[in-house]
A and B are shown apart, each in its own frame.
Chain A
């Protein structure tokens, strides 16, 4: 079956440093979504990537989808304490008529030292 690894599992950075989390798949993904979950909170949708080589930016966050659509990354420039949380990638093994059956990566926990 489709295997997707999310790395690193955990990262502790100094405020102002950059941070990157990666999702790597053994097979081609149709698209990928990214979610953020604050400590004690629920996942919140950040972005969806669909096209090969796609790059999207949201302020200090940069999302990339690889040319082969087998990997994706989320990069945060100059981290702030508000960036603390767990970042998940998620993908659909197949599409449904009315919804989407997402599979979530294990997540990367980000801690920021001020």
Chain B
């Protein structure tokens, strides 16, 4: 079955620590995305990547970093500069854009990050 795998499901961060959230997809999708969701709120875009070795900041990139060395993988690092990291993190992917048509995004099961 094709899909998006996020790990770990739960993660705890200590003060001053960087942590990395994994996102792997076997859908052969070009584009990948990271969102942050706070309780009772919508999704906010952190970073997105259209193709390998390319990524752009979303609306709330400060305190986060990403890499896209392989098409299948788009890990997110939550750095110590992110002072309020407690949230639900969702990774998504989509196929290459068609002409004037948006494509649906497919989401992983998410990672819940908390501060110790």
Contacts and interface: CB of A to CB of B under 8 A. Distances in A.
Nearest to A103: B45
B42 A88 contact: yes
B101 A98 contact: no
Nearest to A42: B107
B45 A101 contact: yes
Contacts of B30: 98-99
Chain B interface residue bracket vs A: 20 to 34
A2 B77 CA distance: 30
B109 A41 contact: yes
A66 to B, nearest CB: 18
A106 interface: yes
Contacts of A85: none
Interface residues of A, number: 27
A45 to B, nearest CB: 4
Contacts of B90: 42-43
B65 to A, nearest CB: 19
Interface of B: 30-33, 35, 40-45, 48, 50-51, 58, 90, 94, 96-97, 100-110
Nearest to B103: A100
Given A45-B105, A99-B32, 4 more contacts: A30-B100, A95-B100, A99-B96, A104-B43
B106 to A, nearest CB: 7
A48 B104 contact: yes
A106 B108 CA distance: 20
Contact of A92 (B44, B58, B102): B102
B105 A44 contact: no
Contact of A100 (B44, B105, B107): B105
